[in-house]
Amino acid sequence: MAKTRSIKKIAVLTSGGDSPGMNAAIRAVTRKAIFNGLDMVGIQRGFQGLIEEDFVDFGARSVSDTIQRGGTILRTARSEEFRTEAGQKKAASICRKHGIDAVVVIGGDGSYRGALALSHEGIAVMGLPGTIDLDIASTEYTIGFDTAVNTALEAIDKIRDTSSSHERCSIVEVMGRNAGYIALWCGVASGAEDILLPEKYDHDEQEIINHIIESRKIGKTHHLIINAEGIGHSTSMARRIEAATGMETRATILGYMQRGGAPTCKDRYYASIMGAMAVDLLAQGKANRVIGYHHGEFTDFDVDEALAMEKQIPEYQYEIARALSI
């Protein structure tokens, strides 16, 4: 585990897609740092803001009235410049210029890779898992997933009501470009007949069509399909399914509503604990770690170790989804 010099000033940034609970994490990092006697700075617009010195001095009051808000008060951006070695060196020299000893990066795997690059330039980093996608291998929990699935589920329940009244097939597209966790959880929790995950879908639409026909024979009057964004094409899929089955089929793409909104209690709580923990690890002289949640415990790993881990959709849970939809 990398050791670092003693920490006097910490910066925090959010990077990549925003997620509900990021503000709770920013607040926890800020308040715990100030509580521990450290200086705090907020970096706006992620790594791009770091390169552009888009900084705000943070006091305890800077994060008042934010724990319940969705989005990120620090805003977020993707930075092409930071992807280059020159950009990373510039970012590190800006940290040194401002006396920033450590940067807490809240985001997904891409943000962790950015944090790792910064650590190679001599700046201590800590990563907090912020993504609605739950697709970070080093943790069983990511900040924002709980809110996103509850937001999606509320919408799906409403679609299900009208789908049932009209005896229709409904395809609901949820977020997840590369990861099907939102689709899996929402599919199981909404009692969907079919769940299409980017990790598993073999594009055999005939199988879905056959499933609809069989389900109607055994008395099902409506059919709910949860489709992940990574598979997409929900509208054209609906047209083809309607033509093949004769069942009226509608597609709804939930989109960015899943990324916004007030975080759930779980997202606020976990984000708060993780944010505080990042500061305490830095205060203990640890660096270049990412915080996670594993087997009921908050954990931390070296960032490069975390990035080398792999995560797979749990096969058994996916099988259960199929069994429960008979």
In the complex, which residue's CB is closest to ligand F6P? 177
Q: How far is the CB of 275 from ligand F6P (least distance, A)?
A: 20
132 vs 208, beta carbon nearer ligand F6P: 132
Q: How far is the CB of 171 from ligand F6P (least distance, A)?
A: 17
The residue count for binding ligand F6P (CB under 6 A) is 10
Which of 39, 133, 146, 300 is labelled catalytic?
133
**What distances in angstroms separate CA 219 from CA 105, 293, 323, one per listed residue?**
51, 42, 16
80 vs 204, beta carbon nearer ligand F6P: 80
**Contacts with ligand F6P in 193-232 (CB under 6 A)?**
229
Q: How far is the CB of 227 from ligand F6P (least distance, A)?
A: 13
- Has 302 been annotated as catalytic? no
* Binding test (CB under 6 A) with ligand F6P, winner from 49, 127, 129, 176: 176
| Contact by Cβ (8 Å): 42, 62 | yes
CA 237, 239, 242, 248 dihedral sign is positive
Q: How far is the CB of 210 from ligand F6P (least distance, A)?
A: 29
State the Cα–Cα distance between residues 252 and 29, nearest whole angstrom: 38
Instruction: State how far Cα 127 lies from the chain centre.
Output: 13
Q: Which stretch in 153-161, 169-177, 190-198, 283-291 sits in contact with ligand F6P by CB under 6 A?
A: 169-177
State the Cα–Cα distance between residues 62 and 244, nearest whole angstrom: 57
State the Cα–Cα distance between residues 282 and 68, nearest whole angstrom: 26
**Contacts with ligand F6P in 81-140 (CB under 6 A)?**
108, 131-133
The reply to whether 45 sits near ligand F6P by the rule CB under 6 A is: no
**What distances in angstroms separate CA 161 from CA 155, 157, 239, one per listed residue?**
10, 6, 21
Angle at 266 between CA 261 and CA 270, to 5 degrees: 110
The reply to whether 171 sits near ligand F6P by the rule CB under 6 A is: no
Strands of 130-200 (E only): list them. 169-174, 194-196
Site string for ligand F6P, 259-288 (x = CB under 6 A): x-----------------------------
Q: Which amino acid is at 176?
A: G
Q: Which stretch in 2-10, 170-178, 203-211, 289-297 sits in contact with ligand F6P by CB under 6 A?
A: 170-178
Strands of 229-311 (E only): list them. 249-253, 289-294, 297-302
Q: How far is the CB of 21 from ligand F6P (least distance, A)?
A: 13
What are residue 3's phi and psi, to 5 degrees?
A: -100, 150
Q: How far is the CB of 226 from ligand F6P (least distance, A)?
A: 14
- SS3 state at 120: helix
The reply to whether 177 sits near ligand F6P by the rule CB under 6 A is: yes
* Binding test (CB under 6 A) with ligand F6P, winner from 105, 175, 183, 231: 175
Q: Which stretch in 33-41, 81-89, 174-182, 231-239 sits in contact with ligand F6P by CB under 6 A?
A: 174-182
Q: Which amino acid is at 294?
A: H
The strand pair at 194-196 and 169-174 is best described as unpaired
Q: How many residues does the chain have?
A: 326
Q: Which residues of the chain form contacts with ligand F6P (CB under 6 A)?
A: 17, 108, 131-133, 175-177, 229, 259
